[in-house]
Amino acid sequence: MTKSLSVPSEKSGLPPGSLIHVGDTLESVTRISVVDYSKETIEEQKIQTIEEILNYKDSDTVTWVIIEGLTNVELVERLGTIFGIHQLVLEDILNTHQRPKFEEYDDHLYIVLKRLMLEDEQFSVSYEQISLVVLNNFVLVFKEKKDDLFQPVLKRIRTSKGRLRKLGSDYLAYAILDTIVDQNFILIDSLDDAITSLEDDLLTTEPTQDTLNTIQKLKREIISIRRHVSPIRELVSEIIRSESELINEKTLIYLRDVYDHAIRVVASIESYRDILSGLLDIYISSVSNKMNEVMKVLTVFASIFIPLTFLTGIYGMNFEHMPELKWKWAYPGLWIVFITIPIVLLIYFKRKKWL
Amino acid sequence: MTKSLSVPSEKSGLPPGSLIHVGDTLESVTRISVVDYSKETIEEQKIQTIEEILNYKDSDTVTWVIIEGLTNVELVERLGTIFGIHQLVLEDILNTHQRPKFEEYDDHLYIVLKRLMLEDEQFSVSYEQISLVVLNNFVLVFKEKKDDLFQPVLKRIRTSKGRLRKLGSDYLAYAILDTIVDQNFILIDSLDDAITSLEDDLLTTEPTQDTLNTIQKLKREIISIRRHVSPIRELVSEIIRSESELINEKTLIYLRDVYDHAIRVVASIESYRDILSGLLDIYISSVSNKMNEVMKVLTVFASIFIPLTFLTGIYGMNFEHMPELKWKWAYPGLWIVFITIPIVLLIYFKRKKWL
Amino acid sequence: MTKSLSVPSEKSGLPPGSLIHVGDTLESVTRISVVDYSKETIEEQKIQTIEEILNYKDSDTVTWVIIEGLTNVELVERLGTIFGIHQLVLEDILNTHQRPKFEEYDDHLYIVLKRLMLEDEQFSVSYEQISLVVLNNFVLVFKEKKDDLFQPVLKRIRTSKGRLRKLGSDYLAYAILDTIVDQNFILIDSLDDAITSLEDDLLTTEPTQDTLNTIQKLKREIISIRRHVSPIRELVSEIIRSESELINEKTLIYLRDVYDHAIRVVASIESYRDILSGLLDIYISSVSNKMNEVMKVLTVFASIFIPLTFLTGIYGMNFEHMPELKWKWAYPGLWIVFITIPIVLLIYFKRKKWL
Amino acid sequence: MTKSLSVPSEKSGLPPGSLIHVGDTLESVTRISVVDYSKETIEEQKIQTIEEILNYKDSDTVTWVIIEGLTNVELVERLGTIFGIHQLVLEDILNTHQRPKFEEYDDHLYIVLKRLMLEDEQFSVSYEQISLVVLNNFVLVFKEKKDDLFQPVLKRIRTSKGRLRKLGSDYLAYAILDTIVDQNFILIDSLDDAITSLEDDLLTTEPTQDTLNTIQKLKREIISIRRHVSPIRELVSEIIRSESELINEKTLIYLRDVYDHAIRVVASIESYRDILSGLLDIYISSVSNKMNEVMKVLTVFASIFIPLTFLTGIYGMNFEHMPELKWKWAYPGLWIVFITIPIVLLIYFKRKKWL
Amino acid sequence: MTKSLSVPSEKSGLPPGSLIHVGDTLESVTRISVVDYSKETIEEQKIQTIEEILNYKDSDTVTWVIIEGLTNVELVERLGTIFGIHQLVLEDILNTHQRPKFEEYDDHLYIVLKRLMLEDEQFSVSYEQISLVVLNNFVLVFKEKKDDLFQPVLKRIRTSKGRLRKLGSDYLAYAILDTIVDQNFILIDSLDDAITSLEDDLLTTEPTQDTLNTIQKLKREIISIRRHVSPIRELVSEIIRSESELINEKTLIYLRDVYDHAIRVVASIESYRDILSGLLDIYISSVSNKMNEVMKVLTVFASIFIPLTFLTGIYGMNFEHMPELKWKWAYPGLWIVFITIPIVLLIYFKRKKWL
């Protein structure tokens, strides 16, 4: 069955600010990881109760909390209380049908966006919502699924004594954003492969109903990807223009880089959209072409044999007074006609380029 | 019969500011409900005469007046006089062909928008115009129909001792707006279902004239929905940018949330529009495909049997001098030809992928 | 013959500011009506010579001069001299190929726009150019034709002791604008009727060349209407943003209302444009559908009878050695074949949903 | 052969500011005309050497220099030196592939735009580049061809003692611009004629390959016209917004008029584009319609006669045991069948509206 | 195989600021050329080690360093250290999948753009990324390939004692940009040729699958070119608006010229896009036209001979009681029918314009 673009309405009618998890449950158990680092120190651990975070609250180190799995509503609520996060932010974290956006509050920033994952060979894309809450010295990340997405960032924290360890929570937020946006390039590569192979098919083989279904499928995916990806451009641009004190001026130049990547992704998607809608035109043209060819074969056959059959019909009649029937050379003469007519017609069709 | 998109002209030519009800009458009797609440108290009642509202006029409590049914012009006029509402606002309340808009007056705000209702299984949408007049401590709501739309808000007023009861009329207006906008998600879910099932139909079964009619019907509905929904985005954005003293700064953050929802709704509708116009292309392609198939069947049949019939025609002729007729093996020999020609042609058509 | 969208070039090459009437002559004799009113008094008359207007020039009353018919160039020139109207304005008044626009001069405002009139049953629209020159206490209106367009405004001046009589020339200008813009709703109703009936036709009956012509005709009309109507939106918006002293702040709120109407009209036209272009796609699809149906009938007939005819051809041959011819049950046996083949093929076509 | 939209690259790679003539040579000999006028005096002459212009340089009169033919590079260079014109301006004057633009320098303004000329009956448009350099008391005009384009302006200078003679070089520049822009209306009239006649053709007669070629030809011309004309709107708007001292405030109101004309021209072209792309759809629909009609004729003929032929085939068989052959009324009875079947089928096709 | 539009993801997941070469390797050995000039002196040399550049660092002369080949990562890193270039700039220089952009840093400017090269006769375009780092008295250029692109600029430096030698590094940067942008005109000429020849083909000869493939190929190339070229417009505009002290005000006027060229290139590409999408419509129409013609031939043949064959069938039946068979004039009479029917039908088809 075709995948639905549905924007579920499960929460419609509920009071704003009520915390419930809205969306598909991708992970039933919630895992909390904490990475705490400063220029000199680094500490990583999995924690069970949210209260353990309090230990890091008043230190000068940067603390990165990763919450994987969104079904534990209480946990999100307690985090909200601890860090003074606005009720609407908590609500948006739990509702996985958000449009990518950036919101600025007095002492925290909220960033929500979609990560794109290629499901399988059939070019089917799924989406994971990732929320970032950036505070002074704290970054909270809420993911729907447990996976290795942030391994590269963790690795850089662990190994490099470089920039990441020296700079604050805003730079960490940038590194996370950068990782998510760059993921899209992998997807776009697959999209490129899918479209290129479709195009090759179309230009070399017979158009089939299958080709049509693939075109429609890709079209739908692109419409959906575009809806989830294009707001990211705007989101990053808003972060850059924001005057929040939580964002250091030095980080801006790096965000500009993410912005460039976002633009490139969106531009690519637009190009694919154009190419794909061109492919449908090519498809329709090809079908017409084939039909034309079929018609020509039919017309050539029919035009040659129908008149000849008429001729045989004449001399198959049983009239008593048909002098030709008795002529000695009538039959061989008729054969000459039977041979001449097709030759003349074939030359005519050849001239018309039907053969 | 196709539903009309008509923007009736009944009032054209009338002096501006003349109060008459314009539009279909959905409710002939007008019902007035009043909900008066403060942090501590709450009072709900149905009232008969408009003068009873005067009791609440000078209190500090927030009073919510819901007028259901718009045929009682005098009532609207008297309300206008009591609260000093601008003549043009009263006129717009009564004319149910308004485009969603926000207007700011010295001591009141006017918001008018459409609520979308799904009529039945056939995906037919109807619209109800809802007007909000927001004053200091007063919110007047004018609806065309009696229904349960505001039950969730009422419930929150009754039960929660929370935010809603503590904050002013602007927050109540927000809660109402939020309820109306969120209604659209239900509609979009149905739209999604309708389009997905149409798409499945199209890709798996024969295209029929019915499919075409459904596509056109949905297209029309989407054009109509878009016309009624997309100005809501702009409307909410104007409320946010407004500098009216009637809107508390704390409420802005909630309105931003409504704004996000409005954007999401509009983005979904645009996506459906794209998908739907893609479906028509798919439909046309499918029809061409089927025709191609029909043509191939015809061509295969005709190309095989027409030459054979010509051959039988030859030996059905009555010439006296046809030596073949007397040959012993002529007839069986001809059968070999009758069998060979179709085989050759079938191989040829097979190669051409027509079979 | 198709109506031309022509923007005549009659004046090209002439010095700017030369007064000549450009455009079709709709009225050969010019009629001048004057309505002079204040809060207390009202005076209406038809005048012959332009000098009679001078009487009103220095009074405090609002004077409305309606000039119907634009062939009297001298009259326009004299009016220009009396009121100090800019030469380019006079030129534009006389040239009836103006795009709707608003121009602000030191002591007068110039508004020119198109009024739409439905010609007849066939949905053919004609345009009348109406120019307004707004001065302090004076409104000059230039129309191409004599008709009742302004009767409602006149009636309100005569009867109501209300707003219109109390306010200045700017409010009168608003009332005139409002009347003209609201006229468009009537047109849009007719357009809606025409398109709805076309759509019903298309979805229920056979598509004909006539339907196609009607679609093209409506499309052309909509393109033309849009060209004349959409600048009105911008025009009213410019009046609102203008800082001319001739426009009282109180009038702005009414102009905002006209602006809303203009937006609604344009939005409706855009919707109809979308629907209409959808109808063409439906038309093309319907034609394809019908062709498909025709092809199926042909294919079914041909595929059934061509093989059978071949069979009869075989036993119509005159070979001496055809043993079947002498078999007793050959003929009845053949009849069984004649009946079986069609049944098999009909079942096959039934399965393919061709029947 | 199709006309190329080519933007020649002849100069690519050359140092900026090198003076060479780029483009087709429309005129091999350069003609220089000088018109010098003030409120009281007027003097016209053709001059041979550029030095004669020096006589006018320090006078208070307005001097209009018209250079027709752009092959004389030295002349342009000398003019540049005399009047201190920027090297890039000189280069642009000589390169006739400019996009219309306005450039402001310290003591001169540079305007370059295209004049449209209708080549012949076949609706083929050619372009002439006209450059204006406006200095204090001097207007230099560079044209590619010798013709009468500026006769109307010259006539007004000669005859009228009016505005043109009284005002400065900026008003002269306006008069020239106005003349060029108004030329376009003539072209648009022809375009309108061409399209209207095409539309009439399409709706009344058979669609032919010729019609298709004409549509494509007009489409191409409109794309090309739009590319040359639409920047003029922006150009005039920039002149109006410019704060150069060379443009008197009084002239602005006239430039606004040119701006209006430019908008009207562009709006017309857009309309024609819309109509034309509609015509292609109509064309495709018409072709489908005709094919449908052809198919119906074929199907009616084939469906009627193929079954009948089968029947005759049956009784043409030579079986010995065919009792019907000896029945007396078999032959007349068969004739009844021969007559009945077509009637039944014709009624059936009539019902299907195929006839 | 169709060329991929791929935006490789090779670097996805890597820490920002890590220097690796991303993209195809077009040149394995890196060549460094240095041109150092002032008003009086000029010195050109190829250097081996990057340290030789240090000699020029503190002089007042303008030094132009051209690095051809991007595989030598260390070299770029060392240059970065020497000139204090931002890490992200170095990274972008090495990653050849940049979107054209302009970035302003405290003491250097970074410009990256694509140069378009026509690969061969088949209209296949390849792209080379060129990066410019503009410092005070230094311009560093990074190219992917060794070629003659900058010969014209070098020649002007060598020969002319003119502007280029007198002005600073910003003017040199302008000259380089101008050379790259003007290259595009050559490409556009080829594009024009390709499209014009395609159009001629389409309007004069039979439409083939080949034509379709060429249309699709060109469409794809145009989408790709547009993606690489259209940001250049914006890039130049940003340079012009930049307030960097590295750009002299005098250079701005030259950059404006580059801006104009960029606009012209983009406008041309848009036109070609429009024309090309028109060509596909023409193609589809042509195919329909041809099919129509084929159908007419078939219908004419079938409609004429099928009824005649039926007639011969009648008199080929073997009924004993067929009086006509014995009539003397039956056979000649039938011939009259055989001749009359085709004539009547041919006249009918002639009237329908099928012949």
Residue given tokens 């992998």 in the structure block: A186
Those residues whose C-beta lies under 8 Å from the C-beta of residue A171, and which sit 6 or more positions away, are: A163, A164, A248, A250, A251, A254
In this predicted structure, the answer to whether residue D6 has a pLDDT above a threshold of 50 is: no
**Chain B residues within 8 A of A209 when measuring between CB atoms:** 286, 289
pLDDT of D262-273, one tens digit each?
999 999 999 999
**Chain C residues within 8 A of B327 when measuring between CB atoms:** 321
DSSP for E271-288, please give it.
HHHHHHHHHHHHHHHHHH
Distance (Å, whole) CA D301 – CA E345: 12
Q: How far does the CA of residue A160 sit from the closest CA of chain E (Å)?
A: 10
Asked if C302 lies within 8 A of D306 by C-beta distance, the reply is yes
Q: Which residues pair with B118 in a beta bridge?
A: B125
Contact between B144 and B129 under an 8 Å Cβ cutoff? The reply is yes
pLDDT of D132-149, one tens digit each?
999 999 999 999 999 889
Asked if D315 lies within 8 A of E317 by C-beta distance, the reply is yes
**Chain B residues within 8 A of C264 when measuring between CB atoms:** 7, 97, 99
Using CB atoms, pick whichever of E286, E317, E320 lies closest to residue D312. E317
Distance (Å, whole) CA C293 – CA C300: 11
In this predicted structure, the answer to whether residue B103 has a pLDDT above a threshold of 70 is: yes
Distance (Å, whole) CA E206 – CA E186: 30
Confidence class for position B161, pLDDT limits 50, 70, 90: low
Q: Which residues pair with D142 in a beta bridge?
A: D67, D131
In this predicted structure, the answer to whether residue D85 has a pLDDT above a threshold of 50 is: yes
Asked if B318 lies within 8 A of A313 by C-beta distance, the reply is no
Per-residue pLDDT averaged across A299-326, rounded? 93
Distance (Å, whole) CA B199 – CA B282: 9
In this predicted structure, the answer to whether residue B96 has a pLDDT above a threshold of 60 is: yes
The rounded mean pLDDT for chain C is: 88
For testing the chain B interface, which of C206, C309, C317, C350 should be mutated: the one with the most B CBs within 10 Å? C317
DSSP-derived 3-state class of residue D9: coil
Of residues B131 and E55, more confidently modeled: B131
**Chain B residues within 8 A of A328 when measuring between CB atoms:** 321
Q: Which residues pair with C138 in a beta bridge?
A: C63, C135
Q: What is the predicted pLDDT for the residue at A311?
A: 94
Distance (Å, whole) CA E75 – CA B121: 69
Using CB atoms, pick whichever of E257, E267, E309 lies closest to residue D88. E257
Distance (Å, whole) CA E98 – CA E77: 18
Asked if E219 lies within 8 A of A278 by C-beta distance, the reply is yes
Sheet of E138-143: strand order equals: E42-47, E31-37, E62-68, E138-143, E125-135, E109-118, E101-104
> With b meaning 16 or more CB within 10 Å and e meaning fewer, what string describes A326-348?
eeeebbeebeeeeeebbeebeee
Contact between C272 and C194 under an 8 Å Cβ cutoff? The reply is no
Query: What is the phi/psi pair of residue C137, to 5°?
Result: 70, 5
Q: What is the predicted pLDDT for the residue at C15?
A: 58
Q: Give the amino acid at D41.
A: T
Contact between D215 and D279 under an 8 Å Cβ cutoff? The reply is yes
Asked if B186 lies within 8 A of A9 by C-beta distance, the reply is yes
pLDDT of C277-328, one tens digit each?
889 888 988 888 889 999 999 999 999 999 999 999 999 999 998 998 999 9
Q: How far does the CA of residue D270 sit from the closest CA of chain E (Å)?
A: 14
Confidence class for position A2, pLDDT limits 50, 70, 90: very low
Confidence class for position A175, pLDDT limits 50, 70, 90: very high
CA angle C206, C209, C211 (to 5 degrees): 65
Q: Give the amino acid at E288.
A: S
Distance (Å, whole) CA B111 – CA B100: 8
Asked if B278 lies within 8 A of A86 by C-beta distance, the reply is no
Of residues D124 and C111, more confidently modeled: C111
Q: What is the predicted pLDDT for the residue at B7?
A: 46
Q: What is the predicted pLDDT for the residue at E2?
A: 46
Chains that touch E (3 or more CB pairs under 8 A): A, D
Q: What is the predicted pLDDT for the residue at A8?
A: 47
Taking CA atoms, A270 is separated from A266, B265, C244, E283, in Å, by: 6, 22, 46, 25
Contact between C27 and C68 under an 8 Å Cβ cutoff? The reply is yes
Q: Nearest CA to D233 among D191, D266, D255?
A: D266
In this predicted structure, the answer to whether residue A39 has a pLDDT above a threshold of 60 is: yes
E325: alpha, beta or left, given left = phi > 0 and alpha = psi -120 to 50?
Answer: alpha
3-state secondary structure D209-239: HHHHHHHHHHHHHHHHHHHHHHHHHHHHHHH
pLDDT of E332-341, one tens digit each?
999 999 999 9
For testing the chain B interface, which of C321, C341, C348 should be mutated: the one with the most B CBs within 10 Å? C321
| Count of Cβ atoms closer than 10 Å to residue C153 Cβ | 19
pLDDT of A57-107, one tens digit each?
888 899 999 999 998 899 999 999 999 999 899 999 999 888 999 999 989
Per-residue pLDDT averaged across B268-284, rounded? 90
Q: What is the predicted pLDDT for the residue at C123?
A: 80
Of residues A189 and D317, more confidently modeled: D317
In this predicted structure, the answer to whether residue A255 has a pLDDT above a threshold of 90 is: yes
Q: How far does the CA of residue C91 sit from the closest CA of chain D (Å)?
A: 11
Question: Parallel, antiparallel, or unpaired for β D62-68 and D138-143?
Answer: parallel
Distance (Å, whole) CA D352 – CA E13: 65
Q: How far does the CA of residue C320 sit from the closest CA of chain D (Å)?
A: 11
**Chain C residues within 8 A of D303 when measuring between CB atoms:** 297-298, 301
In this predicted structure, the answer to whether residue C133 has a pLDDT above a threshold of 90 is: yes
Asked if B15 lies within 8 A of C285 by C-beta distance, the reply is no
Q: Is C176 exposed, middle or buried (0-12, 13-18, 19+ CB in 10 A)?
A: buried
Confidence class for position B48, pLDDT limits 50, 70, 90: confident
Q: Chain A: residue nearest B278 by CA? A: A216
Of residues D254 and C11, more confidently modeled: D254
Confidence class for position A14, pLDDT limits 50, 70, 90: low
Alpha helices in C33-131 (DSSP H): 54-57, 73-83, 87-94
Chains that touch C (3 or more CB pairs under 8 A): B, D
pLDDT of D16-67, one tens digit each?
556 788 877 777 888 999 999 988 889 999 988 888 888 888 888 999 999 9
In this predicted structure, the answer to whether residue A194 has a pLDDT above a threshold of 70 is: yes
Helix axes A73-83, A87-94, angle to 10 degrees: 150
Distance (Å, whole) CA A218 – CA A276: 8
Q: Which two tokens stand for residue B205?
A: 């079964």
DSSP classification of residue D112: E
Of residues E132 and A188, more confidently modeled: E132
Share of chain C above pLDDT 90, in %: 51
pLDDT of A241-254, one tens digit each?
998 999 998 899 89
Q: How far does the CA of residue C45 sit from the closest CA of chain B (Å)?
A: 23
Confidence class for position C162, pLDDT limits 50, 70, 90: low
Asked if C317 lies within 8 A of B322 by C-beta distance, the reply is no
Share of chain E above pLDDT 90, in %: 51
Confidence class for position D8, pLDDT limits 50, 70, 90: very low
Q: Is E316 exposed, middle or buried (0-12, 13-18, 19+ CB in 10 A)?
A: buried
Q: How far does the CA of residue C292 sit from the closest CA of chain B (Å)?
A: 5
Per-residue pLDDT averaged across B83-100, rounded? 91
The overall longest dimension of chain C from CA atoms, in Å, is 122
For testing the chain A interface, which of E5, E127, E336 should be mutated: the one with the most A CBs within 10 Å? E5
| Count of Cβ atoms closer than 10 Å to residue D73 Cβ | 14
DSSP classification of residue A22: B
Q: What is the predicted pLDDT for the residue at C16?
A: 56
Question: Parallel, antiparallel, or unpaired for β D101-104 and B62-68?
Answer: unpaired
CA-CA-CA-CA torsion for A255, A261, A266, A267, nearest 10 degrees?
130
Using CB atoms, pick whichever of A152, A260, A302 lies closest to residue E14. A152
Those residues whose C-beta lies under 8 Å from the C-beta of residue B61, and which sit 6 or more positions away, are: B36, B37, B38, B41, B137
pLDDT of B169-195, one tens digit each?
999 999 999 999 988 888 888 888 889
Asked if E286 lies within 8 A of D328 by C-beta distance, the reply is no
Q: How far does the CA of residue D86 sit from the closest CA of chain C (Å)?
A: 32
Q: Which two tokens stand for residue A279?
A: 């492919």
Contact between D287 and E288 under an 8 Å Cβ cutoff? The reply is yes
**Chain B residues within 8 A of C156 when measuring between CB atoms:** 15
Q: What is the predicted pLDDT for the residue at B158?
A: 87
DSSP classification of residue C87: H
In this predicted structure, the answer to whether residue C344 has a pLDDT above a threshold of 70 is: yes
Confidence class for position E18, pLDDT limits 50, 70, 90: low
Taking CA atoms, A256 is separated from A260, E12, E96, in Å, by: 6, 17, 18
Share of chain B above pLDDT 90, in %: 50
Q: Which residues pair with D134 in a beta bridge?
A: D109, D139
Q: What is the predicted pLDDT for the residue at E150?
A: 93
**Chain B residues within 8 A of A206 when measuring between CB atoms:** 353
Confidence class for position D121, pLDDT limits 50, 70, 90: low
Q: Nearest CA to D321 among A316, C324, E313?
A: C324
In this predicted structure, the answer to whether residue B6 has a pLDDT above a threshold of 60 is: no
Confidence class for position A160, pLDDT limits 50, 70, 90: low
What is the enclosing helix (H) or strand (E) of D132? strand D125-135
Q: What is the predicted pLDDT for the residue at E1?
A: 41
* Prediction ipTM score: 0.78
Using CB atoms, pick whichever of D12, D17, D324 lies closest to residue E186. D12
Those residues whose C-beta lies under 8 Å from the C-beta of residue E198, and which sit 6 or more positions away, are: E211, E214, E215, E218, E279
How many residues comprise chain D?
355
Contact between C174 and C254 under an 8 Å Cβ cutoff? The reply is yes
**Chain D residues within 8 A of E156 when measuring between CB atoms:** 15
Those residues whose C-beta lies under 8 Å from the C-beta of residue D36, and which sit 6 or more positions away, are: D42, D43, D44, D56, D59, D61, D62, D63, D64
Taking CA atoms, A8 is separated from A24, A339, B123, B182, D27, in Å, by: 10, 72, 17, 11, 71
Q: What is the predicted pLDDT for the residue at C352?
A: 85
Using CB atoms, pick whichever of E2, E311, E313 lies closest to residue A200. E2
Q: How many CB pairs under 8 A join C and D?
A: 177
Q: How far does the CA of residue E27 sit from the closest CA of chain D (Å)?
A: 24
Asked if A284 lies within 8 A of E280 by C-beta distance, the reply is no
Query: What is the phi/psi pair of residue A289, to 5°?
Result: -55, -45
In this predicted structure, the answer to whether residue C2 has a pLDDT above a threshold of 90 is: no
pLDDT of B224-244, one tens digit each?
999 999 999 999 999 999 989
Chains that touch B (3 or more CB pairs under 8 A): A, C
Q: Give the amino acid at C167.
A: L
pLDDT of A277-292, one tens digit each?
889 888 988 889 889 9
Q: What is the predicted pLDDT for the residue at E162?
A: 66
Asked if A310 lies within 8 A of E313 by C-beta distance, the reply is no
pLDDT of C64-88, one tens digit each?
999 999 888 999 999 999 999 998 9
For testing the chain D interface, which of C14, C91, C209 should be mutated: the one with the most D CBs within 10 Å? C209
